[in-house]
């Protein structure tokens, strides 16, 4: 039968809902219509639907257990966990300018972190031809040890990385985050450690909030102390598309994984670099995401003992997100559904991306000579 996917899924991911307003901002009363928040349940409903429609023969759904208190506290402070639980128990509301919760959010967030831990365990314990996919919501990569940020509450990939480093004989974990937004929370979780290599590929957008999102995602945020050099930011110019992302993998991701030799590769798979996404400015197509999924599988096979887990992050054009994620999973599986991208209409600015990527590689070569 070839490769298969075990998808970790729970209905709680749909019950979580953010406050409506003016796109992601609070409603002011100036407008006639309270717009649903961009992180709405339909995002994951569409992914679930397209996976069932097009990959049912390749995908098995697996039940999820919530992350335990012990698992969460390896990454997050007790106060943060308690505050979020109490806030949701009281009915929720808006927490920051762009992030809110309802009474179901705490359950969804603990199940999302738990699903990602299970996916990481699955990657380490089962044959490489069965790839785990944490089909989760809410996302996690903006959540910092002490606070929520960017629609994220617990940092799913960070909780999973800490879990396997603590409970298995895995010594090094690599996280490749291709969400169009800087995974600032993941960066903060591991900025002083060398047992987790974080490669963040994102738009060059800097901080959107000095309090909730103090990190910039710029080149000079390379980590501190023992972690210096192990946080690799790849800020890309707007208009980067399929060729640009392929060049990032050729020029930066593949050499770093070859040098680092992780025991597990975690992918923070946010498809908001897609051509139609309202919160991104890049133009990656379904075909481009298929290539990213294929490259992730090949790199895990070559440099991470075949241990790969894919974790859902962002993507906010609810139709294109489903097609882009289908592309990722096709690439991971090595199958073709024959479905074209119905929204691939923007040309990319490859020349600007290529120049930026060469500058980025030169900057990080101080820590990674393989990039010279």
d(CA 245, CA 26): 34
Instruction: Single out the catalytic residue among 141, 142, 181, 213.
Output: 142
d(CA 3, CA 217): 35
List the Cα angle 13/17/19 in 5-degree steps. 165
142 part of the active site: yes
| Phi/psi of residue 235, nearest 5 degrees | -80, 120
Residues 178 and 245 sit within 8 Å (Cβ to Cβ): yes
d(CA 234, CA 356): 9
d(CA 182, CA 202): 5
Residue 60 pairs with which residues in a beta bridge? Answer: 6
d(CA 269, CA 330): 14
Q: Which residues are catalytic?
A: 142
């Amino acid at each position: 039968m070839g490769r298969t996917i075990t998808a970790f899924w729970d209905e709680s991911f749909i019950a979580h809902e953010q406050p409506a307003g003016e796109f992601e901002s609070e409603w002011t009363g100036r407008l006639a219509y309270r717009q649903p928040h961009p992180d709405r349940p339909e995002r994951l409903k569409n992914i679930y639907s397209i996976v069932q429609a097009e990959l049912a023969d390749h995908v098995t759904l697996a039940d999820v257990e919530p992350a335990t208190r012990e698992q969460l506290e390896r990454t997050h402070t007790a106060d943060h966990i308690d505050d979020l639980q109490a806030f949701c128990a009281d009915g929720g509301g808006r927490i920051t300018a762009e992030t809110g919760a309802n009474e179901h959010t705490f359950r969804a967030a603990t199940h999302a972190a738990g699903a990602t831990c299970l996916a990481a365990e699955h990657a380490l314990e089962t044959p490489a031809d069965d790839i785990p996919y944490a089909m989760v919501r809410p996302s996690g990569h903006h959540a910092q040890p002490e606070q929520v940020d960017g629609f994220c509450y617990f940092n799913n990939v960070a909780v999973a990385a800490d879990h396997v480093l603590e409970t298995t004989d895995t010594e090094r974990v690599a996280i490749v985050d291709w969400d169009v937004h800087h995974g600032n929370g993941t960066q903060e979780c591991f900025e002083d450690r060398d047992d987790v290599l974080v490669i963040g590929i994102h738009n060059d957008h800097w901080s959107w909030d000095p309090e909730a999102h103090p990190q910039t995602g710029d080149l000079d945020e390379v980590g501190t102390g023992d972690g210096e050099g192990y946080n690799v930011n790849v800020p890309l110019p707007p208009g980067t598309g399929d060729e640009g992302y392929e060049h990032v993998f050729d020029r930066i991701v593949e050499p770093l994984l070859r040098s680092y030799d992780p025991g597990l590769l975690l992918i923070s798979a946010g498809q908001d670099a897609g051509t139609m996404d309202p919160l991104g400015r890049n133009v990656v197509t379904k075909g481009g995401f298929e290539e990213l999924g294929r490259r992730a599988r090949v790199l895990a096979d070559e440099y991470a003992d075949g241990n790969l887990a894919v974790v859902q992050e962002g993507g906010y054009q609810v139709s294109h997100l489903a097609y882009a994620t289908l592309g990722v999973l096709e690439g991971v599986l090595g199958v073709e559904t024959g479905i074209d991208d119905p929204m691939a209409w923007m040309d990319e600015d490859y020349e600007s991306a290529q120049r930026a990527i060469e500058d980025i590689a030169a900057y990080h070569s101080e820590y990674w000579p393989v990039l010279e």
